[in-house]
Amino acid sequence: MSPPPDPNEHPVSAPPELDPVIHAQARLRVVAALSALREGDRLAFPRLQEILGMTAGNLSVHLRKLEEAGYVTVTKTHSGRTPTTLLCLSRRGRLAFEEYTAAVRALLEPPQSTVDESTLEGS
Amino acid sequence: MALAEGHDVTEDDDAAPPSAADTLRLIREQQDATERSLTPDARLIYWPWGLAWLIGFGLLFLRFGPHGRVYVHLPSWLPLTTLYVLMVVAFVVSGFAGARAAKQVRGQSARKGAMYGWSWFLAFAGFYALAARLSPYLPYEYNGLLWAAGSVGVVGAMYLAGGAVWNTRDLFVLGLWVTLVNIGGVIAGPGWHSLVIAIGAGGGLLVAGAVSRTGRTTR
């Protein structure tokens, strides 16, 4: 267990232990959305775009970063004659998201904390 | 911040959420929004069936009451025809709601959903084949009971199976309720069965739709 972070030393916006790939609003939303898929399911690109309300270009950029990090599995396939891109979190991505969420929780509720929660929220 | 709204390319996209609390809220909101989108609206699943049963079996009771009593002089073909037309509508509406939620999702859920949808169709086909064969040999009032109780029995069993497939207690409990009400109605006999189903099962489905959260599974 790492010691509770000192908010004065590491501002919450860029704490060193938070995965930088996930710790960006847009990619966090992509990963969170994909984490709501049931085990063994994949989501087509247009449906993910619809759920997130992002532009196709924007979503592509973030998906590429997530794919490069090995967090998202991209499968190109065909439904009839239309090419379809299917997306899901890889096992590594799921793990990274769980670790990220746990790390953020730990920031909010540091074990045996002397840190006032409002200090964190106010940053 | 409204997650469903359009999100343009901005510099902020790469920015971290402002605080840990915001981060958790963002995660929860996005997961909930996704879950809602991928889950059929329970009201569209339950209400069409509830209305079909309340109206259809209500008419059956009024026209074919216990011990041959006629409360309202409707044409004899009307109640069962209404019931079956409304059941077809309910089948289409609930199927459409399920298909829309599963749109562009591939994998296990899609396979489960497709198999479950076909199970409804096939279970009804199996029962109707039997009922059509037996129908000519039964006295009129028991004929009505056969078709009515058989249809409700199939729906109850499909809800029970749905509870097992998606591991949801709500759907299983609903199936249990519909099945028990149906058995109770069959024991009470022709006429009473219609009343028991209209109020117990039809009303139960309307209530189930009203109280259900759209979320199918609790995460």
pLDDT of residue A65: 94
Global confidence as pTM: 0.75
**Cβ–Cβ pairs < 8 A, chains A and B:** 124
CA geometry: angle B9, B11, B17, nearest 5 deg: 105
Where does the pLDDT of residue B205 fall: very low under 50, low under 70, confident under 90, or very high at 90 and above? very high
CA–CA distance, A57 with B85 (Å, rounded to integer): 47
Whether chain B has a CB inside 8 Å of the CB on A43: the answer is: yes
DSSP three-state, residue B177: helix
Whether chain B has a CB inside 8 Å of the CB on A94: the answer is: no
| Distance in Å, alpha carbon of A86 to nearest chain B alpha carbon | 8
β-bridge pairing B105-107 and A82-89: unpaired
Residue whose pair of structure tokens reads 């086909």 in the numeric block:
B125
pLDDT of residue A3: 55
Candidates 2.30.42.10, 1.10.10.10, 1.20.140.10, 3.30.930.10; CATH matching A25-105? 1.10.10.10
**Structure tokens given for A19:** 């995965």
pLDDT of residue B211: 87
Which candidate from A37, A42, A121 shows the least CB-CB separation from B19?
Answer: A121
Cα atoms found within 13 Å of the Cα of residue A93, Cβ hemisphere only: 27
- pLDDT surpassing 90 at residue B213: no
CB atoms B7 and A28 under 8 Å = no
ipTM of the complex: 0.74
b/e sequence B21-40, b meaning 16+ C-beta within 10 Å: bbbbebbebbbbbbbbbbbb
CB atoms B20 and A47 under 8 Å = no
Domain parsing of chain A, residue ranges: 25-105
| Mean pLDDT, rounded, for B34-61 | 93
CA–CA distance, B143 with B42 (Å, rounded to integer): 33
Q: Across chain B, what does the average pLDDT equal? A: 87
β-bridge pairing A72-79 and A82-89: antiparallel
**Mean pLDDT for back-to-back runs of 10 residues, chain A (123 residues):** 50 63 91 91 93 94 94 89 92 94 85 52 45
CA-nearest residue to B111 within chain A is A41
